[in-house]
Amino acid sequence: MPEFKPPRPGEVAITLPPATDAGLVFIGRIRSPWPTPDDCPKNIRERNEIGIVEISEPYVQGLKDIERCSHVILLYWLDRSRRDLIVQSPSHAPEPRGVFALRSPVRPNPIGLAVVELLKVEGGTLTVRSVDCADGTPLIDVKPYFASIDSVPDARRP
Amino acid sequence: MPEFKPPRPGEVAITLPPATDAGLVFIGRIRSPWPTPDDCPKNIRERNEIGIVEISEPYVQGLKDIERCSHVILLYWLDRSRRDLIVQSPSHAPEPRGVFALRSPVRPNPIGLAVVELLKVEGGTLTVRSVDCADGTPLIDVKPYFASIDSVPDARRP
């Protein structure tokens, strides 16, 4: 585990339980233009970069029919993130916010979520637009995007 | 682990790795009207039931400001799901489909995802509409829903 900077004023760190409750398997990797988390864009909707999702064996068979989706949801493990900051002071916010009101990579379970356009499927490789995670980020799930349940165009946010 | 039925014709089971790559902590539980996975509705968009999300300590502080969101994304651990069926024959599909083209609870990492309307926040308790998981399902993350990156009204699906 890398060493992390001390919390900023107003931030709150918690002690996470020593043991975990459930285990994940990594099913692939995401290739992106950003070598490290610090290089990643803060606002992915203004970006247009292409990402490559590499699915490992024996999970490739699970891609059957995925080319019929225009968009998919990627879940990935933010393996270089700390997990303990429950209240955070992002640079864009005037005061500290709770982690569950933020899309910060720092969270008790550092799972990233991105809705991406599926451009191409070749074997175990998906070409997508756009991802905001660092190159090599472990993949944990791919789900088809269903506008009927996933799209809320008029949702209100802070 | 419960015993599972044998795969249906056309379904493919894989052997998952014996060890896991990363560990999750459960941050709370979801209370729903459905006692078991078999009781859960297949099509949540036609349902209107209320669910209760109970956040455990020390994670409650992370809810600060969440009431400013009209919708949130819940991630939960489908703890009663098998993980090995990489190709599945759902009753609604004419032929077997890859798991990554399905929203089935059966997947290598059985993480459920629901976009829900946030009706009320009281202490560590969120009242939401609607959830499709069984009562007692462990919660692993809450994220604010941002229409700018999460809403794709015209996404195409199988």
Whether ipTM tops 0.85, in short, is yes
Is B25-146 in CATH node 2.40.30.70?
A: yes
HEC secondary structure over chain A: CCCCCCCCCCCEECCCCCCCCEEECCCEEEECCCCCHHHCCCCHHHCCCEEEEEECCCCHHHHCCHHHCCEEEEEEECCCCCCCEEEECCCCCCCCEEHHHCCCCCCCCCEEEEEEEEEEEECCEEEEECCCCCCCEEEEEEEECCHHHHCCCCCCCC
Residue A2: per-residue pLDDT: 60
Domain residue extents for chain A? 26-80+111-148
Of A64, A142, A145, the CB nearest to B97: A64
Instruction: Note which residues in 83-122 of chain B have CB less than 8 A from chain A.
Output: 86-87, 96-103, 107-109, 111, 113-115
Cβ–Cβ gap A14/B75 under 8 Å? no
Task: Choose the closest CB to B101 out of A65, A113, A150.
Answer: A65
Q: How many C-beta atoms lie closer than 10 Å to residue B136's C-beta?
A: 15
Tens-digit pLDDT string for chain A (158 aa): 467 888 898 999 999 988 899 999 999 999 999 999 988 887 766 678 899 999 999 999 999 999 999 999 999 999 999 999 999 998 888 899 999 999 999 999 999 999 999 999 999 999 999 888 999 999 999 999 999 999 999 999 87
For A91, half-sphere exposure in the C-beta direction (CA atoms, 13 angstrom radius) is 2
Q: Please name every residue paired with A88 in a beta bridge, in sequence order, or none if there are none.
A: A97
Q: Taking CB atoms and an 8 Å limit, are B157 and A149 in contact across chains? A: no
Q: Give the CATH fold of the A26-80+111-148 domain.
A: Elongation Factor Tu (Ef-tu); domain 3 (2.40.30)
pLDDT in the model for residue B109: 97
pLDDT of residue A130: 85
